[in-house]
Amino acid sequence: MKNPAWLKCLVRLTVLTTLLGALAACQNDGQKPKQSFMNIGEFSVSRKSGHIEVRDGAGRRLALVPRGAKAPEGFGPTDVIEVPARRVIAYRAFEVGILAALGVPETLVGVTEPKEKWTRDDVRRGFEEGRIAYVGPSTAIDFERVKTQRPDVVMTWDPSIIPMMDSLGIPVVVTTTPIATCLNTHMRFVEFIAPFFGRENEGKAYFKKVAAALQDIRDRTRGLPKPRAMWGDIYEKRVLVEPGNAWVAELIGLAQSDYLFDDVYGASCIEISTERFIHSGKEADIYFTYRTARRGASSKAALARTNPLIAGIRPLGPEGRVYAPKPHYAQSADRLDEILTEISAILHPRAYPGHRMSFFVELPDVDPGG
């Protein structure tokens, strides 16, 4: 039988964590820094003489050069980014959280969600100060508004904007890949972003903090009984789940639990059949829904009303548990260590006595007063 997708990535993650201490001991000791190469899933960072070369999620080569320095040969005008970047437009809330983790939230000047959708104080404050602008939805951004914000770089999931951005002279870095991000890459993505801001030390510190949380999860859950978990949702016309190669699925496996879509491989929020979702749901102990309370996940009964097909899955019954993300969950990448810990605490509450949830809410059977 083939190894599941999460196990392959977990092997890489285990090796990475083991080597972390050794790598920390190999920092520059006052001598001239040597060239180095770092692979981060589909992303990479390579230090050259006079610049840093990165490969983004679309496989494009970009050169990061010190401000005012000569651009290296072999790169187009918008393939060269002066660093440290001072003005950034970010499509995803995940990158916004990474900017905060690196200590550079003030560089954010544009986002693809309006002010009322943000729970982060730093973003809301940026709107109030006039520094941050809403540049339109991520599927149809306002290029004139983007140009007005004068970004040094746009961080996006959408490669289709590159030709237009090239015509405007604005560099783009693609921060996602067609395949869901594994746990290893999700944790280390900060080390891909850090060189854009000259914050490599902060990136390493963030990674060490997350790696320490992961080790604590291993220690706390070792040998415990394995609950069965699923993560996804049934919508009106589609059924979407997190595949076995996604970081949340790998975390569930690492935390001594069985992920019921472990055999599914592909993009995050991948589509599967209704029959498969219902079949796995009849075996599950714990169900993580994508929906927030605002989108119908206020109770098990309310969730069942969104689609009658979901009513028969085991977690919606009295013996199961259902968890919905709080509004700020998706905007809290700078607190990834806490998020990993909370997911583990949901899977194994006895291993985390007194844990108070910050990112998820357990749904009651019915709405209060219902």
Architecture of domain 36-198: 3-Layer(aba) Sandwich (3.40)
The residue-averaged pLDDT of 47-52 equals 96
Please identify which residue in the block is written with the tokens 């002010």. 115
DSSP class of residue 4? Answer: P
**pTM summary value:** 0.90
pLDDT in tens, 83-130: 999 999 999 999 999 999 999 999 999 999 999 999 999 999 999 999
Most distant CA pair in the chain: distance in Å? 69
Q: Is the pLDDT assigned to residue 367 strictly greater than 70?
A: yes
Would you call 273 exposed, middle or buried from its count of C-beta atoms within 10 A (0-12, 13-18, 19+)? exposed
The pLDDT of residue 164: 98
pLDDT in tens, 260-280: 999 999 999 999 999 999 999
Report the percentage of the chain scoring pLDDT > 90: 86
pLDDT in tens, 224-249: 999 999 999 999 889 999 999 999 99
CA–CA distance, 134 with 128 (Å, rounded to integer): 12
The pLDDT of residue 33: 42
In which band, very low, low, confident or very high, does the pLDDT at 315 lie, cut at 50, 70 and 90? very high
Report the chain's C-alpha Rg in angstroms: 22
Q: Which of 8-12, 61-65, 73-77, 296-300 is the least confident region?
A: 8-12
The pLDDT of residue 288: 98
36-198 and 225-362 share one CATH topology?
Answer: yes
Q: Is the pLDDT assigned to residue 34 strictly greater than 60?
A: no
Whole-Å CA distances, 222 to 13, 219, 318, 341, 351: 17, 6, 27, 14, 10
The residue-averaged pLDDT of 180-192 equals 96
Q: Any idea where the domains of the chain sit in the sequence?
A: 36-198, 225-362
Query: According to the CATH classification, is domain 225-362 in 3.10.310.10?
Result: no
Q: Identify the residue with better confidence: 21 or 317.
A: 317
The pLDDT of residue 246: 97
The pLDDT of residue 80: 98
The pLDDT of residue 36: 83
Whole-Å CA distances, 87 to 31, 258, 345: 32, 43, 38
